[in-house]
Structure 1
Amino acid sequence: MTVSRRHALQLALASASVAAAAPAAAAPRFAAGIEGQRQADLGDGTYLNPIVAGDHADPTLLKDGADYYMTFSSFQSYPGAVIWHSQDLVNWAPITAALHQPIGTVWAMDLVKHRGRFYLYIPVLQNNGTGTYVIHADDIRGPWSAPIDLKLPGCIDPGHVVGEDGKRYLFVNGGRRVRLKDDGLATDGSLESNAWKPWQYPNDWVVEMFAPEGPKLFRRGEWFYLISAVGGTAGPPTSHMVTVARSRSVHGPWEDAPNNPIVRTTSADEPWWSRGHATVVEGPAGDWWMVYHGYENGFRTLGRQALLEPVEWTKDGWLCAKGGTLHKPLPKPRGGKPSKAGFALSDDFSSGKLGLQWAFHAPGPDEAKRLRFDGESLVIKGKGKALQDSSPLTCACGDRSYEITVELEISGSDPNSHGGLALFYEERGHVGIGFSTTQMLTYGYGQEHGWMRQTMATKRVHIRLVNREHVVTWHYSHDGGKTWTQHSWQMEVSGLHHNVFGGFVSLRPALFSAGNGEVRARNFVYKGLPA
């Protein structure tokens, strides 16, 4: 997938920002949660963004009574469409992965509930272009159905709404719309153009491109509201934004908010870049909030992270954002019950099943057959010839600095079969170290460096990775972790992100197994490190 290909599929809108010049960002005072991972809730009635750290782009948020559910674009990671739960909008924990069958690169979804059933509308990029699928479940925790192809080529970012006529519709990129059948599992008619007209921002604004996307719709009183993103989701820090339009009918006409855009990064000095792609929701106490994504200043490697901002309604029925640049803690939503926050990324592999922290990169249809659980270990069958084509098992994280240790057992008679620990963005962007039964291999700048191969008989090895704000140090041990040897190459990885490689994802820890052998992993331990 290329950046130009995605953006060629998106038309766009834009918006005029009234955001004031941002104050210099204060040093963040992140709270430490499970395993030292940063958490939003500061424990004093306030929170500090992000609410879900790390690669959690294009949030779609559903309120169901006292419960909130949210999921994010999962791109080429499977299992995908991980659904998170909260009762206070600040503390979130994952509960299930809804999508297990690879159908393409998953972009911005819409999670809805209609007449007691949950639906997830899923746009994907495939080799022949884009498509849109739907899965459904009677229980949010599943089981979820197999994907159903809605046969909507060239469409992305579906937004579901029930009109005043009682009919169901999907609004998609480029101002288009299609009616759905009552069961929501097929279209009912052809794709309509000019169902809504994206608003144009001033020509002198520094954005990535026009790119209107992510229509999210809801009804309040006599008005339907359409929230959309424009300006491009990456590129310059000032690219993305949140715009609002409204209409008394789902059929229009739509009028633009006089204060568009209600959210936009206006300076590279702000703590969050390219803020946009929002879902608006009513809070536990009847106040209103929006969740959207943004890149953390200086940490595009973490991907687009989920941000929460309070909004208010004006007397004439428009939304006004109240969070400023998000550079300081904000009061938590009132009335919400305390929720479980986060989850452990460490894994001793004793559960006998793949944890929600794990996902294959670009898997084939039968990728899960490469795995087997054996006691307190995970055995990964080799694939491909090297890290880049091995479909590594990745684990998204959201800390600026962290440490990982894992024990690996290498098997296989082929001297080219090897496995190891890596930081993986995509096939062209990764670093790591691996071991065969006879050699240590080193990956940097997206390739294995044969000149660094070192003869090293290995059956079992402990590997330690330390990433301190993009500076990566590797250690390894052959005596059970009693003594460690530092690898001779320390790496700087701040450039492994979307603006270099495309793909819209993040730099993730990864276990890999390449060649014809197997790698047995034990005791994967993750720990967030303080700033």
Structure 2
Amino acid sequence: MPTATPPPAPAAPANPVLPGFHPDPSVCRVGDDYYLACSSFEYYPGVPLFHSRDLVHWTQIGNALDRPEQLRLPLDAPSSGGIYAPTLRHHDGHFWLIVTNVSGDGNLIVTATDPAGPWSAPVLAPDVPGIDPDLAWDEDGTCWCTVAGVSQRRLDPATGRALGPTRRLWSGTPGAKAPEAPHLYRIGAYWYLLIAEGGTERGHGVSIARARTPEGPFEPCPANPIQSHRSTEHPIQNTGHADLVQGPDGSWWMLLLGVRPSGGSPGWHVLGRETFLAPVTWQDGWPVVGELSLTLPALPWPLQPTPAVPARDDFDVDHLGELRPHWISLRDRSPQHFSVKDRPGWLTLHARGADLSAPDAVFLGRRQTDASCAMRALLDPAEGRGGLAVRLDEEHHYGIEADAVQVRAVARIGPLRTVLAAQPRPPGPLVLRIEIVATQVVRDARTGPDTVTLGFDHPADGFVALAELDGRYLSTEVAGGFTGRVLGVYAGEGTVHVDWCEYRSADG
């Protein structure tokens, strides 16, 4: 008898577990559930929140700062300003989130009984200096707030007021710059202080110290940094800003940020800092971080895949008129400029800034999460000018835009903004398209990370490519800053209606 062909083995789960611009992960476990928060910088709403049952598959359940009174970002707040480095914790039946708005209120605290929201109005913490604040509670209920530097003070988290002086705890490894991202934990007989150091670029790393009390004195781990890919050719670089958590079976794991540079030298990362997962074991009372790779090891618990973010959004939203939580805009989302009610079944954008070079541009996008991908949108620009863009910041973006007369490919690279090509616009609504193809072969050191094609679907001629651009100019290595690419629609003049928008990876 013929031998039956065995079913294919399931694919190993991939790292990053949160691809795209999802930096500074902070995670907490409540029973069988895991919740994770990330930085959001100049984008609104702020602090995306995710849920998982297996630490691998994450579903966005909301944003902690999703109301104007919670997130006050001035329209001139710089890109890579705004919301830095949340810490998410669960204590005494409540979720607590402390975060820094470097462009507005400083350090603030919000709480919720359900991490999907609603979250409270912010409690300001003016007595907390610095960025990257962390909250930890000891056995008698004292709350300790630790910040980049690394310093600490007792805090009343309900009022944001300090209950004691600021004390220096530890400055990290001698000679290593920027000790930051502190997280304080009680594990067994010790209090552990986990930090990032070395700067958030190629020198980034994770180090740890321990003490018998949360106030120290802290003894550094002799193996510091316990995780770093500095001075290596590893495909994951800039690793740091970590948080520790126990898996469903009681094993220990680290969630941390990293980037995936590609192309030639020096290597360009375009998706921003992403969230990765790495195993942790313990030796002599110290955590030992296992291999961090693009595929995860076999996990000792069942995976629980979750529904993917819908590829296409037709903007047929519910009665509340709310957009799905993965959509982000720049600095605010005023109903004067964003509406799903003006034209039912369409997203309507009313222009404010003249184009994406303006900090008050009306833009709605989603993070690029795949090295090769495409975005398409059906726009009606008869009442204005607008388009589809891939954005890093005000000085680095590419777009395909249309008005009543023309379709144009435009680019802004540093101080230069140019119209690359233009054609007469066919009548009626128009499908605009951006295609991004990752570099597969590095020809020499100057080879860029990917190619970005800007075009539109002509009703008679099919797809018309107006421009093909090197993607390196929309990378952090060129533009600087802390964010990653966001793809979306915008209005540059008058009113633009969007019937649908879809994002698809090269794999479907």
Q: TM-score surpassing 0.5?
A: yes
CA shift for structure 1 position 410: 1.0
Q: Which amino acid aligns with 1:509?
A: L
1:456 equivalent among 411, 425, 437: 425
The answer as to whether partners of 2:12 and 2:295 remain within 8 angstroms in 1 is no
Going from structure 1 to structure 2, the CA distance change for 1:383 and 1:304 (only over 3 Å counts) comes to same
* Distance (whole Å) between structure 2 residues aligned to residue 147 and residue 263 of structure 1: 34
Q: Which amino acid aligns with 1:257?
A: C
CA shift for structure 1 position 178: 2.4
The answer as to whether partners of 1:69 and 1:83 remain within 8 angstroms in 2 is yes
* Distance (whole Å) between structure 1 residues aligned to residue 51 and residue 9 of structure 2: 19
1:193 equivalent among 137, 152, 167: 167
The answer as to whether partners of 2:45 and 2:332 remain within 8 angstroms in 1 is no
* Distance (whole Å) between structure 1 residues aligned to residue 58 and residue 211 of structure 2: 33
* Distance (whole Å) between structure 1 residues aligned to residue 453 and residue 152 of structure 2: 50
Alignment of 1:193-232 (within 5 A): 193-194=167-168, 196-201=169-174, 210-232=177-199
CA shift for structure 1 position 153: 6.5
The answer as to whether partners of 1:169 and 1:180 remain within 8 angstroms in 2 is yes
* Distance (whole Å) between structure 1 residues aligned to residue 129 and residue 344 of structure 2: 47
Per the alignment, residue 305 of structure 1 pairs with 274
Question: Within the alignment, does 1:111 sit opposite 2:88 as a pair?
Answer: yes
Going from structure 1 to structure 2, the CA distance change for 1:433 and 1:85 (only over 3 Å counts) comes to same
1:437 equivalent among 396, 404, 409: 404
Greater shift, 92-101 or 486-495, is seen at 486-495
Going from structure 1 to structure 2, the CA distance change for 1:528 and 1:337 (only over 3 Å counts) comes to closer
* Distance (whole Å) between structure 1 residues aligned to residue 350 and residue 489 of structure 2: 11
* Distance (whole Å) between structure 2 residues aligned to residue 464 and residue 496 of structure 1: 17
* Distance (whole Å) between structure 1 residues aligned to residue 213 and residue 431 of structure 2: 62
Per the alignment, residue 101 of structure 2 pairs with 124
Per the alignment, residue 476 of structure 1 pairs with 456
The answer as to whether partners of 1:54 and 1:396 remain within 8 angstroms in 2 is yes
Q: Which amino acid aligns with 1:263?
A: Q
Going from structure 1 to structure 2, the CA distance change for 1:153 and 1:441 (only over 3 Å counts) comes to farther
Per the alignment, residue 14 of structure 2 pairs with 48
Per the alignment, residue 15 of structure 1 pairs with none
* Distance (whole Å) between structure 2 residues aligned to residue 398 and residue 191 of structure 1: 43
Question: Within the alignment, does 1:280 sit opposite 2:247 as a pair?
Answer: no
Query: What is the SS of the residue equivalent to 2:504?
Result: strand
Going from structure 1 to structure 2, the CA distance change for 1:382 and 1:478 (only over 3 Å counts) comes to farther
CA shift for structure 1 position 85: 0.6
CA shift for structure 1 position 523: 2.3
Per the alignment, residue 369 of structure 2 pairs with 398
Q: Structure 2: which 5+ residue stretches go unaligned?
A: 1-7, 74-81, 263-267, 439-449
CA shift for structure 1 position 335: 3.1
1:161 equivalent among 107, 130, 136: 136
CA shift for structure 1 position 147: 1.9
Question: Within the alignment, does 1:253 sit opposite 2:217 as a pair?
Answer: yes
Query: What is the SS of the residue equivalent to 2:273?
Result: strand
| Highest RCO, 1 vs 2 (Cα 8 Å, sep ≥ 6) | 1
CA shift for structure 1 position 357: 1.9
The answer as to whether partners of 2:373 and 2:437 remain within 8 angstroms in 1 is yes
TM-score, normalised to structure 2, is 0.86
* Distance (whole Å) between structure 2 residues aligned to residue 111 and residue 329 of structure 1: 24
The answer as to whether partners of 1:122 and 1:133 remain within 8 angstroms in 2 is yes
Query: What is the SS of the residue equivalent to 1:445?
Result: strand
CA shift for structure 1 position 60: 0.3
* Distance (whole Å) between structure 2 residues aligned to residue 264 and residue 310 of structure 1: 14
Q: Which amino acid aligns with 2:111?
A: H
Going from structure 1 to structure 2, the CA distance change for 1:409 and 1:283 (only over 3 Å counts) comes to same
CA shift for structure 1 position 526: 1.6
Alignment of 1:87-102 (within 5 A): 87-100=53-66, 101=68, 102=71
CA shift for structure 1 position 165: 4.1
CA shift for structure 1 position 478: 4.5
Q: Which amino acid aligns with 1:425?
A: L
Question: Within the alignment, does 1:494 sit opposite 2:472 as a pair?
Answer: yes
The answer as to whether partners of 1:424 and 1:509 remain within 8 angstroms in 2 is yes
Q: Which amino acid aligns with 1:53?
A: P
Query: What is the SS of the residue equivalent to 2:270?
Result: strand
Question: Within the alignment, does 1:527 sit opposite 2:504 as a pair?
Answer: yes
Question: Within the alignment, does 1:67 sit opposite 2:36 as a pair?
Answer: no
* Distance (whole Å) between structure 2 residues aligned to residue 146 and residue 82 of structure 1: 16
Going from structure 1 to structure 2, the CA distance change for 1:341 and 1:62 (only over 3 Å counts) comes to farther
CA shift for structure 1 position 405: 1.4
* Distance (whole Å) between structure 2 residues aligned to residue 155 and residue 124 of structure 1: 11
Q: Which amino acid aligns with 1:430?
A: H
* Distance (whole Å) between structure 2 residues aligned to residue 472 and residue 301 of structure 1: 12
Q: Which amino acid aligns with 1:349?
A: F
Q: Which amino acid aligns with 1:488?
A: L
The answer as to whether partners of 1:167 and 1:179 remain within 8 angstroms in 2 is yes
Per the alignment, residue 19 of structure 1 pairs with none
Per the alignment, residue 39 of structure 1 pairs with none
Q: Which amino acid aligns with 2:84?
A: W
The answer as to whether partners of 2:227 and 2:240 remain within 8 angstroms in 1 is yes
The answer as to whether partners of 2:239 and 2:259 remain within 8 angstroms in 1 is yes
* Distance (whole Å) between structure 2 residues aligned to residue 279 and residue 242 of structure 1: 10
Per the alignment, residue 345 of structure 2 pairs with 376
CA shift for structure 1 position 138: 1.5
CA shift for structure 1 position 166: 2.4
Question: Within the alignment, does 1:321 sit opposite 2:289 as a pair?
Answer: yes
Greater shift, 440-449 or 418-427, is seen at 440-449
Q: Which amino acid aligns with 2:288?
A: C
Per the alignment, residue 5 of structure 2 pairs with none
Q: Structure 1: which 5+ residue stretches go unaligned?
A: 1-41, 204-208
2:124 equivalent among 125, 149, 165: 149
* Distance (whole Å) between structure 2 residues aligned to residue 253 and residue 368 of structure 1: 54
* Distance (whole Å) between structure 2 residues aligned to residue 232 and residue 220 of structure 1: 27
CA shift for structure 1 position 244: 0.8
Q: Which amino acid aligns with 2:356?
A: L
Going from structure 1 to structure 2, the CA distance change for 1:523 and 1:135 (only over 3 Å counts) comes to same
1:330 equivalent among 297, 303, 312: 297
Greater shift, 282-291 or 157-166, is seen at 157-166
CA shift for structure 1 position 450: 4.7
Aligned residues: 466
CA shift for structure 1 position 309: 0.4
CA shift for structure 1 position 45: 7.6
* Distance (whole Å) between structure 2 residues aligned to residue 77 and residue 330 of structure 1: 34
TM-score, normalised to structure 1, is 0.83
Per the alignment, residue 11 of structure 1 pairs with none
Identity of aligned residues (%): 28
The answer as to whether partners of 2:128 and 2:162 remain within 8 angstroms in 1 is no
Q: Which amino acid aligns with 1:418?
A: R
* Distance (whole Å) between structure 2 residues aligned to residue 245 and residue 451 of structure 1: 54
